[in-house]
Amino acid sequence: MFVIRSYTSCTFMFLTLIKPAYTGSHSLWVLATFIEGKTPFPKFSAVLMVDDVQVEYFDSNESKVISRRHWKVRDVVEEADLKNTVISMIRDHLNVYFKQLQPRFNHTGGVHTYQRITGCEMNDEAESPLMLWDAYDGIHTRSYNKASYTSNALFPELMWSKFKVEASKLVNTNFYQPLCIKILKSYLKQEKNTVQRIVRPRVRVMQMMHSESGALQVSCLATGFYPRHINMTLRRDGQTIPEENLLTGELLPNGDGTYQQRRTLDISAKERMERHNYTCTVTHTSLSNALDITWEPGPDADITFIVAVVSVALIVIVLLLLAMAAFLKWKRRSAGRAQQRGSAGVRGQQGGDIAQESPGERGPRAPLPQGMEGQPLQSRV
C-alpha cells in the first residue's frame, strides 16, 4: 500500500516538472526507486523518459538497461555499458541515503522507499543544467540547485562537506549534464515521429442533470491531443469563469499515447433559468487559433407532460399484462375441457362394444325341459 503511494507521489512530482512540451521544448528524466522490505517489486528500478514517453528500463533483477521502445523490432540500447554504470551509481546513492535517514524516522521494519527524479531540458537549443530531487517515503529530502550548482539537503544527515559539494559540482557539470543532453538529442533525432508529433484535440461539451439538487453539470472535454500541455477555459456570456469555480480533472493518458482533460461547471436551477451563454475555449500547439465550443441551456421540459406520458405508459403495460394473464387462463381451461370430453368418449365407446355383442358370440342356447317347449312360463307362488 505504501509502495503504491510512494510511486504515485513520484509520478505526480514528475508530471509537475514536465514543462509545456511545445515544438522546441523537450526533456530527459530518470525516475529511480529503491525499496526496503518485502514486496513483489524489484529492490531497485529506474525508467528513462523522453518528455512523457518511456524509452528505457532498468531493475535489480535484470541488472541491465532494457529498451522500452516496443514499436521498434529488436531495438538495441545505445551506450548500454555507460548507462548501466550510471544507473548502478544512482542505485548505490539511494541505498546510502536511505540508510542515513532510516534511524531519523525510526523505521526498523515494514516497507519504505527512497526515490529520485533527475534530468535535463532543452528549450530551443538552450540547454539546462542538471536537475535533481530526492524523497524518503514521499517526503522531500534534497534537491540540486541548478542556478548555483549546489545540493540542498533538508536533513542534517544528508549535509555534504565543502569538498564533496565542489566535487559534485564538477562531476555534474562536466559529465552528467553533457551526457544527459547527448542522450536527449539522440532520442529526439530517432523518435521525431513519436515525441515531436502534434495531434489536434477533439472537443465536446456534455451535460448531466442532478435529480436531487436540480443543478446542471456541464463538462468541456478535450481528448486525443499531443503534446500533453493544453489550455482550457470556460466563459459565461463572454466573461472567464475563475478556476476556483470549476472542477478541473486531472490530465489523463489515452491508450494511443495521447491525452485527455476536462473542465466542469455546476449550474444551479436559478442560473439555468437566466439563460446564460457558455463557451469552452481550447488552445493547443496543434491549433492555429483558439477553438470555441458554445453551449446554451435549452427550454425545460414540461414536468406535467412527462408525468402524464409515464402514467399512460404504465397503464398500458398493466393492461397488457392483465390481458396476457386472462388469455393464458382461458387457454388452460379450454385445454382441460377438451381433455374431459376426450375421456368421456373413450368410456362410452367401450360400453357400447360390450352391449352390442354379435349373435355368434353368445354361444349355444340351453335346451328347454321336455314338455315345456312352446308353453308360456308361469310364475310360482
Phi, psi of 169 (to 5 degrees): -60, -40
| Burial call 33-65: b when 16+ CB within 10 Å, e when fewer | bbbbeeeebbebbbbbbbbbeebbbbbeeeeeb
Average pLDDT over residues 10-35: 67
Q: Which tens digits make up the pLDDT trace of 176-230?
A: 999 999 999 999 888 888 888 899 999 999 888 766 666 788 899 999 999 888 9
pLDDT of residue 307: 56
* Domain spans, the chain: 2-195, 202-295
pLDDT of residue 354: 45
| Burial call 86-95: b when 16+ CB within 10 Å, e when fewer | bbbebbeebe
Radius of gyration of the chain (CA): 44
348 band by pLDDT with thresholds 50, 70 and 90: low
pLDDT of residue 302: 44
Give CA–CA dist 235/238, Å, rounded: 5
> Three-state SS for 181?
helix
> C-alpha grid cell for residue 148?
548555483
Q: Is the peptide bond before 42 cis (omega within 30 degrees of 0)?
A: no
pLDDT of residue 87: 94
Task: Specify the CATH architecture of the domain 202-295.
Answer: Sandwich (2.60)
362 band by pLDDT with thresholds 50, 70 and 90: very low
Q: Give the least confident one: 134-138, 150-154, 230-234, 262-266.
A: 150-154
Task: Return all residues near 128 (Cβ < 8 A) that are at least 6 apart.
Answer: 120, 121, 122, 146
Average pLDDT over residues 322-334: 84
Average pLDDT over residues 317-346: 77
Q: Which tens digits make up the pLDDT trace of 66-90?
A: 988 877 767 778 888 999 999 999 9
The CATH number corresponding to 2-195 among 3.50.50.60, 3.20.20.370, 3.30.500.10, 3.40.30.10 equals 3.30.500.10
Region for 302 from its dihedrals, namely left if φ exceeds 0, alpha if ψ lies in -120 to 50, beta otherwise: beta
DSSP secondary structure code for residue 289 in this structure: S
Phi, psi of 67 (to 5 degrees): -70, 140
Is the model more confident about 48 or about 10? 48
Average pLDDT over residues 161-179: 90
Region for 366 from its dihedrals, namely left if φ exceeds 0, alpha if ψ lies in -120 to 50, beta otherwise: beta
Residue 52 pLDDT more than 80?
yes
Residue 57 pLDDT more than 50?
yes
pLDDT of residue 351: 52
